[in-house]
Amino acid sequence: MPVRWGILATGQIAAKFTEDLRLLPDAEPVAVGSRTVEAARAFADRFGVPRAYGSWAELAADPDVDAVYVATPHSAHHAAALPCIEAGKAVLVEKPFTLDVPTAQDLVEAARRRGTLLMEAMWTRCLPAVHLIADRLAAGDLGEITTVQADFGFPGPTDPAHRLRNPALGGGALLDLGIYPITIAHLALGVPDTVAASAQLTDDGVDTNTGLLLGYASGAVALLGCSIIAGTPCRAAITGTAGRIELPERFHRPLGFTVHRPDREPEVVEAPFSGWGFHFEAAEVGRCLREGLTESPLVPLATTLETMAILDTARAELGISYEKSGRTMK
């Protein structure tokens, strides 16, 4: 039986995810939920989804939905995911998981109480190229890791109401883009011992150009950057005492990578990729459901919480806060 998906939200990311479900023989979108039935119906008509709901609660209550993909803006992730968890659905929540550690922990605890599958949609960790990199790191191919460098930036919108510029929607470079360099650093080095941050902030307190320096007890460092005002190389490198892995432009969705070792020719490694790349995370949800898992080994909930803790620490240092449901997230 295919995994029957409910799509919660109707924006660009939801559309790409739904398109990619067509690449999986054992998955199908059966329902979509939005804040208005008009938006849900338009989305359903576009993608041939059988049912459209004008509320998140109706989607969560649909007995024919096995898994829900939450694709709202960051600020609504907690409110959207919680009723789906409580309804016993498997839930895949777009990155960043929530706005801070307490709300992320709340979802994790709710899923554990209910015994349901919960996973952050950090699609980068589900991509074949990243699997291969993780295998090489685990095998010690690069020796002791000393440095991770990664950046992600593009010239983004200037409208203060846009979600990337709106503090009420969790706007800024850090949550939307910075999570990708942090993910690569975590993949290679795990949890840092120190986090230092510097950023350019708007008058509304939204970070537009941000740098992070993560320090580790081993002496390793991660130099990370993100920007919504300028295009950066969008590359990443993991360096160790025995070699270096370089990920090319658009490192967050790699088609492969290059391994550099002393006194050897560079090794170019290619990996499968198709569609938008979102079906890999959907396939992981399906695999976990069929194996009776309540969390993914590829994107463990502990990793999600550790990544969110790095974001929280950086935000605190930068003095950034977000508004959600009348409550300041600090």
Catalytic residues: 95
Locate tokens 């919480």: which residue?
Answer: 305
Relative orientation angle of helices 179-189 and 301-318, to the nearest 10 degrees:
120
Q: Are 225 and 214 in contact (CB under 8 A)?
A: no
DSSP state of 322: E
CA-wise closest residue to 236 among 225, 202, 228, 10? 225
Q: Cα separation of 123 and 177, whole Å?
A: 13
In this structure, what token pair is assigned to residue 214?
A: 């993560």
CA-wise closest residue to 281 among 131, 127, 175? 127
DSSP helix/strand/coil, 48: coil
Residue 14, exposed/middle/buried by CB under 10 A (0-12, 13-18, 19+)? buried
CA-wise closest residue to 168 among 69, 82, 70, 76? 76
